Amino acid sequence: MELEKFARQLRLMVLLTQNRTHTVEEMCQMLHMSRRSIYRYLDVFKSMGFVVKKEGTRYRLDHSSPFYQEVAAGIHFTEEEGIVLTQILNSVYSRSPQVRHLREKLGNLYDSEVLSRHGVNDKQARNLSKLFQAIKEQRVVLLKNYNSPSSGTVSNRIVEPYLFTAENAEVRCYELASGMNKTFKVARAEQVELLDLLWTHEEAHSPFYTDLFGFTGEKYYPVKLLMGQLATSVLLEEYPDAQRQLTMQSDGRHLLQTEVCSYLGISRFVLGLFEDIEVVDSPDFQEYLQQRIAHLIAQS
């Protein structure tokens, strides 16, 4: 009996420390407990030194509680850290159970509505919240009245969302009607509705990458550049993340070994500093550059 009582208290404690608030009715329904038990356990928590916060009719255990801080020290993330981790995980294409488990843990610790509200308007926050939930639960959604400037249409799109890009401004989805993976801008959907359907085309969800130069695509193409001091400095100034892909050579130059989704971005960089850059072991990229140069000459 005492063990069952402790288990109920622990479940309530976990529920109230998940960065969200709950009414007594919600707690009763979620934990299958009576109102009397809820109130009694809240009093017990107070007597143990927990700070029980009441906001209107909603309750939570404040993270400033000494006991909570002692237990959570070193493993608790702030709301800002939770937002960053969620953005990173949602922009990683992976079918591994580890990534899925991390998404579920963050979803349990941090309310998707809280995470989605960071830096966006209310409408987009609601859409992001539904999309977060859909990816976590592997559910199909309806992008209601999606505005597509390229086709000049406004239509409903039924999709399986599986990956965020562009800092959550876009979502990569498998569209059921066309049988294709497409990128949708979250702000262009009037509303996102969760449907009572689970993914059935996960094997068709393709990886989607963003390269060093901000271009996206489903494939990577390797490129190697030997760069002098000027080109290296410009590269690091414009693209600081390149530091991890640079290796100092014996002649003082730097070797950039990277993968790009499109030759367009990196070609702009190379052609702008061609006197200080040598393309090595990248025949396809060299051919692309030759074609671009020939095109520029023909236009002049």
Give the pLDDT confidence of 22-39 residue by residue, as tens digits: 899 999 988 888 999 999
Rounded to an integer, what distance in angstroms lies between the CA atom of residue 105 and that of residue 101? Answer: 6
Domain ranges for the chain: 2-72, 79-207, 210-299
- The whole-number pLDDT of residue 114 equals 46
Helix, strand or coil, per DSSP, at residue 135: helix
Owner of token pair 């404040």: 62
Q: What is the pLDDT of residue 38?
A: 92
Report the pLDDT value the prediction gives residue 235, as an integer from 0 to 100: 97
Q: For the chain, which ranges sit under pLDDT 70?
A: 1-4, 18-19, 63-120
DSSP label at residue 200: S
Euclidean distance between CA atoms 283 and 290, whole angstroms: 11
Q: Which fold has domain 2-72?
A: Arc Repressor Mutant, subunit A (1.10.10)
What's this model's pTM, rounded to 2 decimal places?
0.56
Which residues pair with residue 224 across a beta bridge?
257, 280
Q: State the pLDDT at residue 298.
A: 92
What is the per-residue pLDDT for 46?
Answer: 87
What proportions of the chain, in percent to the nearest 5, are helix, strand and coil?
A: 45, 25, 25
